[in-house]
Structure 1
């Protein structure tokens, strides 16, 4: 299944947020979208999910304009994990994950044992089985975020969109979550803050700045010292690894060049 943004622009309140953005999502890849705050990552994710309509340009899902598809049709193929998605209802953790099955239910397809099995597996995958009976409002922010991921997995999409999915998670769960996403047999697109997460887990990275994509390619091609300095305004040393990977070490402001560690290329 293919997903593409074709020369999309979007604005709100008279302010241009996205400017002529084009992006092709390769089936089966884990694509990371990185950039500073305000660069347009969340807005682009909303357009890809069909939640917003571009001012100009098109978003295509398998060649069809997303804006012409019904929400249920989109939800059968695309699942979105947003930064903030809360509920005031007193529902259990398991019930929150069961909502992921909604696009697949209907008058002639009622809830079944298969749906139970899919929900159980999704909850186990994010390590929340022991808390499945807990009420939503009693859970921590990190636990709720893991359940959002489980809900998306229960949706059984072919494309998984994640907008800063590691927010509110500790380091262990951040790594575990991104590893879990990478192991899924689906296409994944994640807007990420942590450049090392993108460099470690993503097959390809799109770097945004000022509402545009300024570079796209394998992590070691995009996350160079020059681009990190130009886009984020920080100095860093980049170690290049095999298979397009790299590791970024940031330097404190004002660190003299003489104190920079020697770069190593690891094959």
Structure 2
């Protein structure tokens, strides 16, 4: 299933946030959206999910305008994990994941054993089976984030949208979660802060700056030392791993910058 954005523009509070953003998400790929704070990543994710409508431009889901589809139909095909997703309800961890089945339920399709199996699998995927009976308000931020991912998996979407999914997670769970997402048979768009996570797991990355797409392509092509300096204001060395991948080595602000055009090579 394909998802594409065509010349999206969005403003809020009198400020222009997105300016003519266009991109296409290929079926089955993990596309990372990267950029500094305020670059428009979260706004773009909300437009791709259909939560907001662009002031100009359109989002297409398999060639159909997203705003023309019923919300239940969109929810069966797209799942969104928001950056600040929360619930004030007094529910258990399992009940929070069960909410992911809502788009598939109705008068003629009540809850069944199949739904129980899907929820069980989602909890197991994020290693939360043992905490299924815990009340939501007793869980840590990291545990809640893993349950948000489980709820999205229980939704059984074809497209998964993740807005900074590794928030509140320690490094082990950050990498484990991205690895989990990467091996799902899904089309995934993830807004990420960590450039090394993007380089490690994304098939392509879209680099945003000031509400525009600065560059899009494989991580090793987009994440150059010059772009990192220009967009993030950070001096870094881009280390090639010999297989077409890369990782970023940031330099201490007090150290001199590497020679212009210098690119580190893995030993």
Query: What is the TM-score when the length of structure 2 is the normalising length?
Result: 0.97
Residue by residue, what CA displacement relative to the aligned partner does 1:61-92 show, whole Å, maximum 9, x if unpaired?
Answer: 01111111111100000000001111111100
| 2:90 equivalent to 1:90 | yes
Superposition map of 1:93-172 within 5 A: 93-172=93-172
Partner of 1:264: 265
Moved over 3 A (4+): 257-262
**Aligned-residue RMSD, C-alpha:** 1.5
Superposition map of 1:193-208 within 5 A: 193-208=193-208
Q: Size of the alignment, in residue pairs?
A: 266
Residue by residue, what CA displacement relative to the aligned partner does 1:119-170 show, whole Å, maximum 9, x if unpaired?
Answer: 0000000010100000000000000000000000000000000000000000
Q: Is the 8 A contact 1:35 1:193 kept in 2?
A: yes
Partner of 2:65: 65
| 2:80 equivalent to 1:80 | yes
Q: Is the 8 A contact 1:163 1:192 kept in 2?
A: yes
Instruction: From the superposition, tell whether residues 137 and 49 of structure 1 become closer, same or farther in structure 2 (CA, over 3 Å).
Output: same
Residue by residue, what CA displacement relative to the aligned partner does 1:185-242 show, whole Å, maximum 9, x if unpaired?
Answer: 0100000000000000000000000000000000000000000000000000001124
Q: Structure 2: where are the runs of 5+ without partners?
A: none
- CA–CA distance in structure 2, aligned partners of residues 244 and 96 of structure 1: 40
| 2:223 equivalent to 1:223 | yes
- CA–CA distance in structure 2, aligned partners of residues 73 and 210 of structure 1: 32
Partner of 2:186: 186
Q: Is the 8 A contact 1:219 1:245 kept in 2?
A: yes
Partner of 1:2: 2
Q: Is the 8 A contact 2:5 2:22 kept in 1?
A: yes
Instruction: From the superposition, tell whether residues 124 and 255 of structure 1 become closer, same or farther in structure 2 (CA, over 3 Å).
Output: same
Any idea what SS the aligned residue of 2:101 has? helix
- CA–CA distance in structure 1, aligned partners of residues 60 and 42 of structure 2: 18
